[in-house]
Amino acid sequence: MSDRKYRLRGYQDDDRDRQRKPKPARPAQEPGAPAGARRISQEGPRPINMPGFREVVRCTQCGAVIEAEVGPDSRCPRCGTELHACSQCGSFDPGSRFECMQPVTTRISPKNARNTCALYAPRTTVERETTTPRVNDARKAFDDLFKS
C-alpha cells in the first residue's frame, strides 16, 4: 500500500494480506440432480393450497353476478339492463371493425340495447373463489365444528 497516493484500503489491495476463512463442507450432490435443485422430502412434495376457480357472467353496468342462463329477453336482476346486447357480449371490442370481433356485415347500434345477433355469447370471466360459503343457521355451523 505504500506505492499508492492514498492509504485507504480498497479493491487494489492484495488478497495475501487477508486471512482466508475455511469454507464449510458442502453436502454431496445427488447423482442426476441439476445444480441448485430443491430436494423433495421423504414425504413427497407439499400440497399446494390453491383456491378454486369459477366462471361467472357479470353485468357490465352494475357488476352483479348473473346466475341464470342469458336469453334474448333477459335483464339484469339488479339494475334492469338488457343482457342480450353487444356491450354484454364476449366478442364486443371497441377497437374492432363495427366494434365486434365476429365477422358481422353491419354495425349494430346502440351497443347497450337488446338485439337479435346470432353470434352473441355472454362475456364470462374467471374468478378465484376466496371465500367459503356462509352458513345461515348458527346451530348447524356449531355442529359442523365437531364433525370428524
Q: Give me the pLDDT at residue 120, please.
A: 86
Phi, psi (deg, nearest 5) at residue 114: -65, 140
The one-character DSSP state at 4 is S
Q: Give, for all 148 residues of the chain, the pLDDT tens digit.
A: 456 666 666 666 666 566 777 888 877 766 666 666 665 656 666 666 666 778 888 888 888 888 878 888 888 888 888 888 888 888 888 888 888 888 888 888 888 888 888 888 888 888 887 766 565 678 888 888 887 6
Q: How far are the Cα atoms of 14, 28, 130, 145, 146 from residue 138, in angstroms, in the given order?
A: 75, 57, 22, 11, 14
| pTM of full prediction above 0.85 | no
Q: Give me the pLDDT at residue 131, please.
A: 65
Q: Give me the pLDDT at residue 7, please.
A: 66
**Cα(34)–Cα(36) distance, integer angstroms:** 6
Q: Give me the pLDDT at residue 144, please.
A: 82
Q: Give me the pLDDT at residue 16, please.
A: 58
Kindly state the cell numbers that stand for 53.
376457480
